Amino acid sequence: MPPKLLTYLILALLAASAAAARRHPSPASSAAAGEPVYLWPLPRNFTSGSRTLLVDPDLALDGQGPGGAAAAVAEAFERYRSLVFSPWAHAARNASGGYDVGKLTVVVASADEKLELGVDESYTIYVAAAGGVNSIVGGATIEANTIYGAIRGLETFSQLCVFNYDTKNVEVRHAPWYIEDEPRFSFRGLLLDTSRHFLPVDVIKQVIDSMSFSKLNVLHWHIIDEQSFPLEVPSYPKLWKGSYSKLERYTVEDARDIVSYARKRGIHVMAEIDVPGHAESWGKGYPKLWPSPKCREPLDVTSNFTFEVISGILSDMRKIFPFGLFHLGGDEVYTGCWNATPHVKQWLHERNMTTKDAYKYFVLKAQEIAINLNWIPVNWEETFNSFKENLNPLTVVHNWLGPGVCPKVVEKGFRCIMSNQGVWYLDHLDVPWQDFYTSEPLAGINNTAQQKLVLGGEVCMWGETADTSDVQQTIWPRAAAAAERMWSQLEAISAQDLETTVLARLHYFRCLLNHRGIAAAPVTNSYARRPPIGPGSCFIQ
C-alpha cells in the first residue's frame, strides 16, 4: 500500500472512531482519566482509546515501500521483538489463538540508508484490532520516510507493548492508537569519556542501546585526553603508547564496529580529539609533541610535526567516522608554559604574537585541516569567547561553561550545541533530574531564524569518577530527562506537572531500562547513582 494512501486510510479511521478515541494535541494523560501516558519521550501528537489488544508472540514483520525491506529495519524489528517477548512466550500462547495484532507492517518511503545530521526521524503508528469495529487497517502499522524514522517508531511501538503477568500475554492497552511523531532538535547527544577511564567496547555498545531507548541520536565519543590515548592511529602507531595499558586500547576495527553498531540504531558517532590542550598523553609515543619535558601541554605550536600528526590522526579517523561533524575541543588551554619554553617564546617574539594569538593560530589551523577533510568543526565555547571574529563560519560552538552562551553564538551567525555544565553534566551528581528536564536549549533566543541555528543539546558523561562499574547508573535516568526535552515539543512538556505526570512516567521509563538490562539508578536520589535506601518498588524510587 502506498504510504500516502495508508495515511488517508488512517485519518479516515480516526474520524470514524472519534467517539472511541480521545485527542491529545498536547499529550499529557491517556484515555484512562488522569493516568499518565507511559511513553518516553512524549510523541508530538496522538490519539488513544479504551481497548486492550493482545499481541501475537509470533508477531511477523511485513516490510513495505522502498525501504521496508532494508536489513536495518528487519534487524531492529528482531531486536525489539526480543525485548517485548519473553524467551518462553511461545509456550504461553493463547489457547484460542485469538490475537488482535499478529503482524507489524512497516512502510518506509526511502531505501536510502545514509545517516547524516538532520535525517528525517519522523514516523506515524497505528494500532487497532484486526477486523474490529470501524477498523480500516487492522493490526499495527509504522509509516516513516526513512529507515531511521522506522527505527524510532519501533521503539515507541515496543513501549506500547506491556506484558500481563496474570495472563502471560503481551498487550497494547488504551487502543486504538494513532501516534504522529518527530524530534524537536536534530542533535540530541550524549558525551562518553573513554580517556579518564577505559570503557570496553561491549559497555560502549550498551550505552548506545540505552541511548536508542530514549531516542538520543549522537554519541560524542571523547576518546582521547591528557590522561590516556587509547585509540590506534595507523599513521602514527606510537600514539597509543599513551594508553593506560596494552589491554585498555581501541583498535581501528573496534572503532568501526562501534560506528556500525550505532548506525544500525540511528545514532551518529561524533569523535573528538581535543587540541591544543588536554593532550599530554600524545607525547608518551612522540615526545617531540611536547614543547619541553616540563611543558607537556598545550602541544608545541611552533612545530610542523605537531600539525602533521593532527593531519594524520584526522585523515585516519575520516576513514572510520562518517558523521559530518568532528569535535576539535579547544577548551581549557593554559598557555603559561609556552612563555616559559625558550624556543616557543622565541617563535612568538619573531611573529609578534602573544600566547593568546598562538592559541587562535593553533585552533584555526586545526579547523583548516578538518575542513579540508570535509568535516564541519565543532569547538568548545572558549574559542568563541576568545576570538569569535576569526572562527571559520562553519564552526559549531559547543557551550559548556554556563547559561547564556548560545544566544550570543547564534546572534553572530554560528550554530550552537547546549551542554550547560550546571544542568547537563552527568558527573555533577548533585544536579537532580528536574534540572535536567527543565533546561531549555532555546532559552533567551526569541528570533526564529536564530533558533534554527541551535542544533540541539548534549548531556556529558565525563569519566573521572565513572567506569564500567557505575557509568550506566550515572547516565540514567537523568539523561532521559534531557532526552525528552530535546525530542518532545516544548508546548507538550512544559504543560506537564513535574511531580505527578512527568515523575510517574520517568519512574516507569527507569524501570523499563532496568528490565532491558540497563543499570539505571533510582529517579529521586538526592545524589545521582546512589542505590536505593531501603526496600520498595522500582516505580516509586
Active site residues: 332
Residues 6+ apart with CB under 8 A from 232: 240, 249, 250, 251, 252, 255
- Report residue 213 as a C-alpha cell: 531507548
3-class DSSP state of 474: helix
Rounded to the nearest 10°, the torsion over CA 335, 336, 338, 342 is 170
Q: How many CA atoms lie within 13 A of 371 on its CB side?
A: 15
Polymer length in residues for the chain: 541
Is 220 in contact with 490 (CB distance < 8 Å)?
no
Contact 124, 149 (CB under 8 A): no
Q: Could you write out the DSSP letters of every residue in 365-424? A: HHHHHHHHTT-EEEEETHHHHHHGGGS-TTPEEE--S-TTHHHHHHHTT-EEEE--HHHH
Contact status, residue 231 vs residue 316, Cβ threshold 8 Å: no
Inter-residue contact 304 to 366 (CB < 8 Å): no
Q: What is the DSSP string of 73-134?
A: HHHHHHHHHHHHS-TTGGGG--TT---SEEEEEEEES-------TT----EEEEEE-TT-TT
Q: How many CB atoms lie within 10 A of CB 287?
A: 12
Q: Note whether 57 and 90 are within 8 A (CB).
A: yes
Instruction: Answer whether 409's CB lies under 8 Å from 397's CB.
Output: yes
Measured at the CA of 502, the angle between CA 496 and CA 504, to 5 degrees, comes to: 135
Cα–Cα distance measured from residue 358 to residue 367, given in angstroms and rounded to the nearest whole number: 14
